[in-house]
Structure 1
């Protein structure tokens, strides 16, 4: 089952389906890329930014970028629609009680807010991460102050220039989304954001091709939709209790992506020993089930079953020659399967 967002019609009618352009949210995405730019295709950009940093900020960045990884710290996933500047968000964070801010920063490692859990799992991370987590738990005032100083320094050294460059792009994408919601409705507008999203029948829900099965009703809770120039290949759904659901999406739709069900069906087809042997038999040339059974001395009924399963999973193609049906391995599909698995896991 994919991730499903429901209640879109009532959400839109209540005026709580909102586009957002947030400097702090985009900073979180940029910080995520700096940690691991490879799967984002932004190695050159990350190298340029890191090289230009002062040694002090480079070390600071390495000690805090864990807050913007698979589960992001709350300040990075709570944008205020329709738009907020970096300074506006920074001012809000400065006004927040230090215990509350420290707890929000622990979300990537302890979503429940349990500080003992945070301390336990931090010890499995890098020493710099463990030190930051311990400081957030034991000395929240000092640790929260350090994080705020890190944000200020990052803005001064590199992010302010980046934000000037990318803000108009994000604002334009947010306007296009708002226009499409008005003209076509929330379902089509959301489905157009990324190929991994599709509208459910009736248009009141969308499905996102993700490994994790989840269901979010946004009819009362609200949904905030924020574009990002850094987030690809991810489509990030931020579920922070007590807040609107947040969807972070790439500015431009990417290439079509297979669903989790399709990837799983292909992997299951190949996981069977018999089907793997039959796949080998049609890897170099097309063959019929009878020919395979004769050449390899196997039961033709089983061969037929395996071939049909491979074809149903998209791993084999068929051509008819008179009364014969020949099967050929879909080599291109197999070559892309590893990429499809990685894309699904990263999404």
Structure 2
């Protein structure tokens, strides 16, 4: 149990914020222990298939069996406008002693991949996290962020209707607020009481927490990560509807892909949305590209596909 003691000044400083790195860090729990995140299984399968084995091993090594993640991967954001590039730059320059402290707080005995000189371990983590972001998060981050932004708007309206107590009651059954204390009931057997001391309290919606999450260290800025409304709809495959004429011409999968590619999208994101393997999507995309229906361009480690002028001319057939 973690209990934040809230002063009057802290009540006026309750705020909502988003962190791309925090969201990525929390997702490592589903990636490492998928059986404990059944709603995320389709997403995990697609992401695991598209992540390099060496990066995947490092990412999974960062999480322990308690589902703890180092605090440096779950930073408390100061704004709803936090950018991943800024957060990864901060991580790349994090002091050696903080890297060591956060890793040791999670692991009693560190996995081999997280041992060695702190600078080398940090560089290894930064490289794996950066690659993971580009292949698995960046292509769909705008959609993820839309769900998180919508949740923040909903919570703001809840405050205006029912006050802070009503808003806190709606975050999660594991979160309680009695006017002076915010109590977080989680599996950590320790009883921790933290004075917020005028630092305020940051509330962070997430697609990758089941009940709620909080920092490992008491010295971290006070924060509560809670499940965002609408997370399930985003994590479930989202199939666009292709019309009969286009399906008759291309087949349902390729027609659906063409309908989905009015915006630049990676094969990883397409596979997640359609509920099929990335390799299967890539086979279809290669054929469609060779036929002139798609264009493609590399963006970091990802290849983004988009309908060509020929593909765009065919796509309206779906509306007939």
TM-score (norm 1): 0.58
SS at match of 2:88: helix
Report Cα offsets for 1:232-262 as digits up to 9, x if no partner. 1x311225343321211111399xxxxxxxx
Q: Give the deviation of 1:21 after TM superposition.
A: 0.7
Q: Aligned to 1:51, which of 27, 49, 52? A: 49
Q: Which residue of 2 aligns with 1:150?
A: 128
Which residue does 1:78 correspond to in 2? 75
Task: State the secondary structure of the residue aligned to 1:226.
Answer: strand
Counterparts of 2:59 and 2:213, CA distance in 1 = 22
Deviation >4 Å, runs of 4+: none
Which of 201, 204, 213 is 1:236 aligned to? 213
Tell whether 2:26 aligns with 1:29.
yes
Q: CA deviation at 1:69?
A: 5.4
What's the counterpart of residue 91 of structure 1? 89
Q: Which has the larger radius of gyration?
A: 1
* SS in structure 1 at match of 2:63: helix
Q: In the alignment, which residue of structure 2 is the partner of 1:251?
A: 228
How much is the aligned-residue C-alpha RMSD, in angstroms? 2.7
Distance 2:166 2:197 in 1: 17
1:322: which partner in 2? none
Does the CA contact (< 8 Å) of 1:68 and 1:76 recur in 2?
Answer: no
Q: 1:86 deviation in Å?
A: 1.3
Instruction: Return the alpha-carbon distance in structure 1 between the equivalents of residues 90 and 142 of structure 2.
Output: 21
**CA drift at 1:32:** 0.9
Between 1 and 2, higher relative CO (CA 8 Å, sep ≥ 6) is seen in 2
Contact 1:195 1:253 in 2 (8 A): no
Tell me, yes or no, if structure 1 residue 205 matches structure 2 residue 181.
Answer: yes
Other structure's SS at 2:173 match: coil
Inter-partner Cα distance in structure 2 for 1:59 and 1:130:
10
Q: Which runs of 5+ in 2 are unaligned?
A: 232-320
> Is the contact between residue 71 and residue 216 of structure 2 (CA under 8 Å) also seen in structure 1?
no
The aligned counterpart of 1:131 is: 112
Structure 1 residue 89: deviation in Å?
0.2
Structure 1 unmatched ranges of 5 or more: 110-120, 123-128, 255-347
Give the structure 1 partner of residue 273 of structure 2. none
TM-score, normalization by structure 2? 0.62
